[in-house]
Amino acid sequence: MEEANEAVHGVVEVKPSNAWRPDAAGIFFSLLLAMWGVVVAVLLKNGNTRLWQVFAAFVFFEGVNRTLDLYLRRRSEIVGGLTPAVYADFLNTSVSLVHSSIISLLVVGLMVKEAKVSGLPHMLSHDVLYNWTWPGAYTALAISCGYFTYDQLDMIRKHLYSPKAPHLLVHHAVLLTCFTPALQLDSCINYLILSLICEVHSIFLHLRKVKKLSSPENARSAGGDTVTWVLNWIAFFSARLFVHFWITGKLLWDASKFPRGFEWPLALTGMVGLNVLNVLLGQGLYKALMKERASSRRKD
């Protein structure tokens, strides 16, 4: 069996070959994903046709995966030396980069447009974040929901996770649990759109990982890429850490304005979970940076 030690969002994990093998984490998250699929199917059957956008996004990103696969298999200079496990990771990360780029453009674009129309203070008021839906926000959230469904399935079937610490599987499960009720009820959409600003940072994560996976030469030169690391950290603190902390604080501040029900507890639990994962991500990035600096010093 071929194995490779690669960084997932800066966290080093052991990657076995890209064939699915049953383990507790894989089985558990497979069952969760199946249950989610049943719930969405029932909602579609009951008349919420807007949820077809989620299915369309799932098909789109699966198509991107297959198209890139066909293209890359003809480009031996890019992936010729990769093991099956690393190739599967490279392909998955490339699709993730496509998603992050699309969502970043959509989210930043619709927020800038809305800020010009209504002003930032009004735009970020509780009533607007909870009851209103900015133009294009529902579709952007549905696209991300479809992507995270695709990515969860792709990681499980190709074993692109650490069975002992499946951080990304947990991350995706949390997002699907929060996104789906919001899309069904058409509430809290704008809160969730704010949380997707972190995809700006994800662009730098995925670019770094694609560079490291693509060739040994790129991996060796990563330690000297100061500009990439500076942009990575700026985006991490501004687009991810600050935004998610702000949303969490906003939920706590406006707790009394939410109606009784599951929405506020679910939203707060989801944001707390994301903040914990962000801290783990930051630790992983710091360790990766220190490792690359140490490697660079040894070469010097």
Q: What percent of the chain has pLDDT over 90?
A: 75
**What is the rounded distance in angstroms from the CA atom of residue 115 to the CA atom of residue 222?**
38
Which are the contacts of 7, defined by CB distance < 8 A and separation ≥ 6? 13, 209, 212, 284, 288
How confident is the model at residue 76, as a pLDDT? Answer: 80
H/E stretch holding 170: helix 167-185
How confident is the model at residue 299, as a pLDDT? Answer: 65
How confident is the model at residue 300, as a pLDDT? Answer: 58
CB-CB contact of 89 with 155 (8 Å)? no
Cross-strand partners of 6: 13
How confident is the model at residue 143, as a pLDDT? Answer: 98
**What is the rounded distance in angstroms from the CA atom of residue 135 to the CA atom of residue 131?**
13
**What is the rounded distance in angstroms from the CA atom of residue 95 to the CA atom of residue 63?**
10
| Single-letter residue type at 293 | R
Cross-strand partners of 7: 12
Tokens encoding 186: 């058409």
Measured over the CA atoms of residue 281, residue 241, residue 273 and residue 98, the dihedral's sign is negative
What confidence tens digit (pLDDT) does each residue in 132-154 have? 999 999 999 999 999 999 999 99
How confident is the model at residue 100, as a pLDDT? Answer: 98
Strands 11-15 and 4-8: antiparallel
How confident is the model at residue 77, as a pLDDT? Answer: 78
List, as one string, the DSSP characters of 109-160.
HHHHHHHHHH-HHHHTSHHHHHH---TTHHHHHHHHHHHHHHHHHHHHHTT-
What confidence tens digit (pLDDT) does each residue in 35-56 have? 999 999 999 999 899 999 999 9
Provide the residue-wise pLDDT of the chain in tens; the chain has 300 residues: 333 333 334 333 334 445 556 789 999 999 999 999 999 999 999 989 999 999 999 999 999 999 999 999 888 877 778 889 999 999 999 999 999 999 999 999 999 999 999 999 999 999 999 999 999 999 999 999 999 999 999 999 999 999 888 999 999 999 999 999 999 999 999 999 999 999 999 999 999 999 888 865 555 554 457 888 999 999 999 999 999 999 999 999 999 999 988 999 999 999 999 999 999 999 999 999 898 888 777 765
Residues in the chain: 300
H/E stretch holding 68: helix 52-72
Tokens encoding 182: 């919001």
Does the pTM exceed 0.85?
A: yes
List, as one string, the DSSP characters of 200-263.
HHHHHHHHHHHHHHH-HHHHHHGGG-HHHHHHHHHHIIIIIIIHHHHHHHHHHHTGGGSPSSSH
**What is the rounded distance in angstroms from the CA atom of residue 295 to the CA atom of residue 220?**
8
Tokens encoding 295: 């490697």
How confident is the model at residue 12, as a pLDDT? Answer: 33
CB-CB contact of 236 with 205 (8 Å)? no
